[in-house]
Amino acid sequence: MDPQAAKMIGAGIACIGMGGAGVGVGTIFGHYLAAALRNPSAAQGQFGNLIFGFAVTEALGIFSLLIALLLLFAL
């Protein structure tokens, strides 16, 4: 196979990992919203935890995007 074509396919496959991060971020925000509607007065206090969980989850999706960018432009 042409190495350039293999790189492109590899970058595409690497981007599948971002789907997992999408599921995770959606779970975090969905559960936050569900809990906030049950007890709105406690929601504001958990905002920091929400952003922390979002950041840690999102990092994993960003890593797979990084692999795709490395394959396309750097390697």
Partner 1 sequence: MDPIHQFEIKTLFPIAHIGGVEIAFTNSALYMLIGLLVILLLMLGATGPRALVPGRLQAVAEISYEFVAGTLRSSAGTEGMKFFPLVFSLFMFILVLNVIGIIPYTFTVTSHIIITVSLAALVFFTVIIYGFWKNGLHFFKLFVPSGVPGYILPLVTFIEIMSFLSRPVSHSVRLFANMLAGHITLKVFGGFVTMLGALGFLGWLGAVLPLGLTVALTALELLVAFLQAYVFAILTCIYLNDAIHPGH
Q: Which residue ranges make up the site for partner 1 (CB under 8 A)?
A: 48, 51-52, 54-56, 58-59, 62-63, 65-66, 69, 73
Q: Note the Cα 25 to chain centre separation in Å.
A: 6
Question: What CA–CA distance (Å, rounded) separates 20 from 29?
Answer: 14
Strands (E), the chain: none
Q: Which is nearer to partner 1, 35 or 69 (CB)?
A: 69
Q: How far is the CB of 65 from partner 1 (least distance, A)?
A: 6
CA separation for the pair 73, 53 (Å, rounded)? 30
Beta carbon of residue 66, minimum distance to partner 1 (angstroms, whole number): 5
Which lies closer to partner 1 via its Cβ, residue 6 or residue 56? Answer: 56
